[in-house]
Amino acid sequence: MSSPLWQAVLGEIELSVSRGNYITWFKNTQLVQHSDELVIIGVPNIFIKQQLEKKFNDVFVETLKKNGITPERIEYKIVAMEPHKIEDDETILTPEEIQTVTLPPKITNNGISQSYRQGLNERYTFDNFIVGAGNELAFAACQSIAANPGKKYNPLLLYGGVGIGKTHLIQAVGNSAKLNNPEAKILYITTEQFVQEFVEALRYRKTNDFATHYRTADMLIVDDIQFIAGKEKIQEEFFHTFNALHQANKQIIISSDRLPKDIPTLEERLQSRFAWGMSIDMQNPDFETRCAIIQIKAQSNNVELPNDVVEYLSTNIHTNVRELEGALNQLLAFCEMRALEPNIDIAISVLGSSRTRPKHLSAKQIIERTAKHFQVPLEDILGPKRDKDIVVPRQIAMYILRSELHLSFPKIARELGRKDHTTAIHSVEKIEKESQLDSSLRTAISEIKERLYA
Ligand code: ADP
Ligand code: MG
């Protein structure tokens, strides 16, 4: 059992990062030792250790600080863990996320080649992908590539925020291409797995096997390429893989949470190669598409949902498709266990507590909370100052007023003491766009919301 302090730390982190990130990186950590000088955090493997050191160290620093601990150093140490149990609340994770969590580095005596995966999951098809505003271009490009791999759009890059269907689409390309050509060597791999396998290959002097495996693919699909940031050796390896495949007209498909040029420490030669083909921005689907997604997912569970329930879900869960699916599954499970037909009252009572936005939240609360989060005086946010550290929180407050209270732009402008409502339009659009690309901005917004609804 972990210590109460560590439970508190993890509890806070769980609120501030995405669910996938939490489960993948944080959930299986433990507190090994702490003093004023040093905190030692136990982690299950080298891979998680590296990620925590590189990407999430600040999260620990911040959260420990909130809990009254400000060590001079934080160290990560690989320790034996209790076997990971899959809990009910993890079922909304995609299979590849679960793989990342549960897969310890697996080495057999006859080398690592067996651990290379083809990685395709039949669950992701074009047929069960709902097309609408936000994803139609990506869908069209993916279909065209599946029918004609390596011909145009090479590489294809899909980018956009979490849970909006990138993995689904790129997997669907692989599955469809495989149906067309069962002999083809079609490889899907997450960047984390690529990194992990490469590290193992280095350790066991099997880099030739590794290189051959990926360079002889007929189609290579690499998910979440942003995780290659800062890993020079792996970028180099990937560069050669890319070149070998591209020269042989083999299709390469990549997904990323942002444009390559916005991935810090991604080598320029890779950035420029990723831009050779076609890059498509994926957005969270609009209201109507979300409704269609819910209806079809319910139908595939043999449930007919009344329209008001569909609209309720689609209105209240507008972050991404993954959350939407999670909420629907929660509702369906609740009804199934009690043999109830889903209706709006049940939906509100099941999802209301955690998901819906209570109506009593005021504009004032939102603005105050945002000011507090960024530690700027309220009167500055409402006043004339144009310094960047005031303007950005002001824009974020406008964005939250719009997304949470659905206020009109003139009203948003008035709430923040602006005369001109085009400022509000501009600000909301800007934050909307930037939050797609900037994960720290997303984190800030979700932190503010969590506090508001806490
Ligand atoms: P991403 O890779 O962008 O984070 P995923 O592809 O994992 O997102 O999508 C999250 C979940 O939502 C998956 O279960 C996926 O099947 C589902 N999903 C996303 N977009 C759609 C869509 N347009 N139609 C049907 N299901 C979708
Ligand atoms: Mg994904």
The answer to whether residues 442 and 161 touch, using CB atoms and an 8 Å cutoff, is yes
DSSP string, 307-341: HHHHHHHHHH--S-HHHHHHHHHHHHHHHHHHT--
Q: Which of 126, 257, 321 to mutate to test the pocket of ligand 1 (most atoms within 8 A of CB)?
A: 321
Q: Residue 394: how many CB atoms within 10 A of its CB?
A: 25
Among the bound ligands, the one closest to the CA of 159: 1
**Domain boundaries 104-281, corresponding CATH code:** 3.40.50.300
Three-state DSSP class for 253?
strand
User: From atom 19 of ligand 1, which residue's Cα is the shortest distance away?
Assistant: 165
Element (H, E) at 46: helix 46-51
CA distances from 308 to 305, 312, 315, 342 (A): 8, 6, 10, 11
What is the distance between the alpha carbons of residues 325 and 330, in angstroms, rounded to a whole number?
Answer: 9
Whole-number Å distance, alpha carbon 280 to ligand 2 midpoint, is 15
CATH topology of domain 4-96: GMP Synthetase; Chain A, domain 3 (3.30.300)
Q: What are phi and psi of 186, to 5 degrees?
A: -110, 120
Among the bound ligands, the one closest to the CA of 163: 1
Least Cα distance to 161 among 355, 320, 363 occurs for 320
Q: Residue 16: how many CB atoms within 10 A of its CB?
A: 16
User: From atom 11 of ligand 1, which residue's Cα is the shortest distance away?
Assistant: 322
The answer to whether residues 211 and 112 touch, using CB atoms and an 8 Å cutoff, is no
Atom of ligand 1 at shortest range from CA of 324 = 12
Atom of ligand 1 at shortest range from CA of 139 = 23
Q: Which residues contact 369 (CB under 8 A, 6 or more apart)?
A: 448, 451, 452
CA angle 117, 121, 127 (to 5 degrees): 150
Which CATH class for the 287-351 domain?
mainly alpha
User: From atom 21 of ligand 1, which residue's Cα is the shortest distance away?
Assistant: 165
Among the bound ligands, the one closest to the CA of 296: 1
Q: What are phi and psi of 160, to 5 degrees?
A: 160, 170
Structure token digits, residue 261: 């040029």
Atom of ligand 1 at shortest range from CA of 289 = 23
Three-state DSSP class for 286?
coil
What is the distance between the alpha carbons of residues 374 and 427, in angstroms, rounded to a whole number?
Answer: 17
Q: What is the pLDDT along the chain (454 residues), one digit of tens a residue?
A: 467 788 888 888 887 777 777 877 888 899 988 888 899 999 877 767 887 888 889 999 988 988 888 899 999 988 876 543 333 333 333 444 433 433 333 333 333 434 455 789 998 999 989 998 889 999 999 999 999 999 889 999 999 988 999 999 999 999 999 999 999 999 999 998 999 899 999 888 999 999 999 999 999 999 999 999 988 999 999 999 999 999 999 999 999 999 998 888 899 999 999 999 999 999 888 888 999 999 999 998 889 999 999 999 998 888 889 989 989 998 998 888 888 999 999 998 888 754 444 457 889 999 999 999 999 999 999 999 999 999 999 999 999 998 878 788 899 999 999 988 999 999 999 998 888 778 788 878 878 887 887 6
Structure token digits, residue 441: 């901005």
Whole-number Å distance, alpha carbon 161 to ligand 2 midpoint, is 9
What is the distance between the alpha carbons of residues 255 and 258, in angstroms, rounded to a whole number?
Answer: 9
Q: So where are the chain's domains? A: 4-96, 104-281, 287-351, 363-453
Q: Where are the alpha helices (DSSP H) in 119-231?
A: 136-147, 166-180, 191-203, 207-215
| Residue 288, amino acid | E
Among the bound ligands, the one closest to the CA of 95: 1
Q: Which of 168, 173, 188 to mutate to test the pocket of ligand 1 (most atoms within 8 A of CB)?
A: 168
Least Cα distance to 305 among 337, 328, 339, 338 occurs for 328
Pocket of ligand 1 (CB under 6 A): 94, 129-130, 135, 162-168, 285, 293, 321-322, 325
| Domain formed by 363-453, architecture | Orthogonal Bundle (1.10)
Q: Which of 127, 164, 291 to mutate to test the pocket of ligand 1 (most atoms within 8 A of CB)?
A: 164
